[in-house]
């Protein structure tokens, strides 16, 4: 009888602690997740900060946080965190105890391994009592989104064809500024007249700012990226590393052009996570527009939407007030691409070609000529006549 009474007493204690600690385990619990950056660059290191608050007088014996995160985010391993990785997603879980009236902050270090746009929709919180009698669970909506831009190439990684074309472009720009073309703001210099001061920007930054003017002849550049890694590619990219390198080159070119105060745009023949909004961005100025271009590049998918020469034909059908500059980033050349380039040049547009071939060489060295080379060849033919 004594043993039976003891067992009944133990059972009552287990049930009681379950009712006291287990059933209300998730009540008056607050959870928040923030990233140090929601827009970053491939290879960059950021932090994910979790804040958990227990506002009740009872502790939570055990609390499990679990969420599905993109595999592009590489977490630094810790003793209280387990990560099960897959090809696309990873299961990120952590288990710990939360005392009464306590707020804890947990910081996770992350390396952004692959560019892309990744939704982070929810997390699951599960708590319970000492013996697991009750284990209530709750889904927490986060509605966050990580945008990882392509990696920027260093000077030593850029192809000679890009540097040559950029030099030709710089020569055509006039040194004289156009006071009627405002492209942004910059810091005040001693030679600037007082009527150029931007008072609102000066008040916002705490330092004198003036209107930044464009150039009298300011070329507009449209960057066209070819998702096709070879002439025989059908739909899905087979050389992913090659096309990712081409995308990094396009991002580096866009950042360089915008940084020099020139308007730039971006278009490609691949699929996009952003839908039609990510297929083509017209030329414009400034860091805000550059951010939109880099986001379109982040959402770029390694699938062909239409042949590249058809994309160029669509560009030839567009109406512009004056000819623009096209920079073609491609891994291969074909007769159809050459014909499309010739069509653009016949309309007065200037066309430059850059990129890397499958063996890592500069495509310009493989027979694709930039606009400067074409003009030189044409001049030589006329001279011979």
The tens digit of pLDDT for each residue in 166-175 reads 877 766 655 4
Q: How confident is the model at residue 88 (pLDDT cuts 50, 70, 90)?
A: confident
Please report the pLDDT score of residue 181 as a whole number.
Answer: 60
User: Which one, of 236, 222, 184, 191, lies nearest residue 320 by Cα?
Assistant: 222
Q: Which of 58-67, 178-187, 196-205 has the highest mean pLDDT?
A: 58-67
**Beta strands 39-41 and 137-149, pairing class:** parallel
> CA–CA separation, 185 vs 194, rounded Å?
14
Q: To the nearest whole percent, how much of the chain has pLDDT over 70?
A: 87
Q: How would residue 269 be classed by pLDDT, with cut points 50, 70 and 90? A: very high
Helix, strand and coil in the chain, % to nearest 5: 30, 35, 30
pLDDT tens track for 230-249: 888 888 888 999 999 999 99
pLDDT band at 116 (very low <50, low <70, confident <90, very high): very high
Quick one: residue 92, left, alpha or beta (phi over 0 = left, psi -120 to 50 = alpha)? beta
Residue 275 three-state SS: helix
Q: What domains appear along the chain, each with residue ranges and CATH number? A: 28-149 (2.60.40.1530), 155-173+218-384 (3.40.50), 177-216 (no CATH)
Please, which pLDDT band fits residue 51 given cuts at 50, 70 and 90?
A: very high
Q: Which of 33-47, 178-192, 202-216, 354-368 is predicted most confidently? A: 33-47
Residue 360 region, left (φ>0) first, then alpha (ψ -120 to 50), else beta? left
44 φ, ψ (degrees, to nearest 5)? -75, 150
Q: What is the DSSP string of 24-93?
A: TTTTTEEEEEEES-SEEETT-EEEEEEEEEE-SSS-EEEEEEEEEEETTEEEPP-TTEEEEE-SSEEEEE
Mean pLDDT value of segment 63-81: 86
Q: pLDDT digit string (tens) for 272-317?
A: 999 999 999 999 999 999 999 999 999 999 999 999 999 999 999 9
Helix (H) / strand (E) containing 265: strand 264-268
246 class by beta-carbon count within 10 Å (0-12 exposed, 13-18 middle, 19+ buried) = buried
Residue 165 vs residues 34, 54, 77, 172: alpha-carbon distances, Å: 42, 61, 46, 11
Residue 278: the pLDDT is 94
pLDDT at position 139 is 93
Task: In whole angstroms, give the CA distance from residue 82 to residue 94.
Answer: 6
CA proximity to 244, closest of 222, 224, 225? 225
Please write the tens of the pLDDT for every residue from 344-378.
Answer: 999 999 999 999 987 655 554 433 344 444 443 33
What does the alpha-carbon distance between residue 27 and residue 55 come to, in Å, rounded to a whole number? 9
The two tokens of residue 129 are 């009592």
Q: What's the DSSP call for residue 153? A: P
pLDDT for residue 176: 47
Pick 18 or 101 by higher pLDDT. Answer: 101
What percentage of the chain reaches a pLDDT higher than 90?
Answer: 53
Scanning the chain, the segments in alpha helix (DSSP H) are: 2-17, 160-172, 199-205, 240-259, 286-298, 308-316, 335-346, 371-384
Tell me how far apart the alpha carbons of residues 167 and 51 are, in angstroms, rounded to a whole number: 51
pLDDT band at 322, cuts 50/70/90? confident
């Amino acid at each position: 009888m004594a043993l039976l009474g003891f067992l009944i007493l133990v059972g009552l204690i287990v049930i009681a602690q379950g009712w006291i600690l287990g059933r209300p385990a998730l009540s008056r619990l607050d959870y928040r997740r923030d990233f140090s950056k929601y827009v970053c660059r491939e290879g960059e290191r950021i932090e994910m900060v979790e804040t958990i608050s227990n506002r009740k007088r009872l502790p939570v014996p055990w609390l499990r946080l679990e969420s599905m995160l993109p595999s592009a985010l590489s977490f630094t391993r810790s003793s209280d965190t387990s990560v099960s990785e897959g090809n696309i997603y990873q299961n990120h879980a952590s288990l710990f105890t939360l005392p009464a009236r306590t707020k804890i902050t947990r910081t996770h270090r992350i390396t952004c391994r692959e560019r892309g746009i990744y939704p982070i929709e929810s997390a699951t919180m599960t708590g319970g009592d000492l013996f697991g009698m009750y284990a209530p669970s709750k889904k927490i909506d986060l509605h966050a989104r990580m945008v990882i831009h392509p990696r920027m190439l260093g000077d030593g990684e850029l192809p000679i064809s890009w540097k040559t074309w950029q030099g030709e472009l710089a020569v055509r720009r006039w040194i004289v500024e156009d006071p009627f073309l405002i492209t942004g703001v910059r810091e005040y210099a001693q030679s600037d007249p007082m009527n150029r001061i931007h008072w609102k920007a000066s008040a916002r930054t705490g330092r004198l700012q003036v209107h930044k003017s464009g150039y009298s002849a300011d070329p507009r550049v449209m960057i066209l990226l070819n998702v096709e890694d070879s002439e025989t590619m059908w739909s899905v990219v087979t050389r992913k590393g090659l096309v990712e390198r081409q995308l990094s080159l396009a991002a580096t070119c866009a950042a360089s052009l915008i940084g020099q105060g020139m308007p730039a745009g971006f278009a490609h023949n691949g699929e996009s996570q952003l839908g039609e909004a990510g297929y083509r961005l017209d030329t414009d100025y400034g860091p805000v527009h550059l951010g939109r271009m880099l986001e379109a590049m982040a959402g770029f998918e390694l699938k062909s939407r239409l042949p590249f020469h058809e994309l160029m034909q669509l560009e030839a059908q567009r109406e512009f007030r004056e000819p623009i500059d096209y920079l073609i980033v491609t891994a291969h050349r074909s007769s159809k691409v050459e014909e499309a380039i010739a069509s653009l040049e016949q309309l007065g547009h200037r066309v430059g070609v850059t990129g890397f071939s499958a063996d890592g060489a500069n495509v310009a060295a493989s027979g694709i000529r930039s606009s400067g080379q074409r003009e030189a060849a044409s001049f030589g033919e006329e001279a011979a006549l």
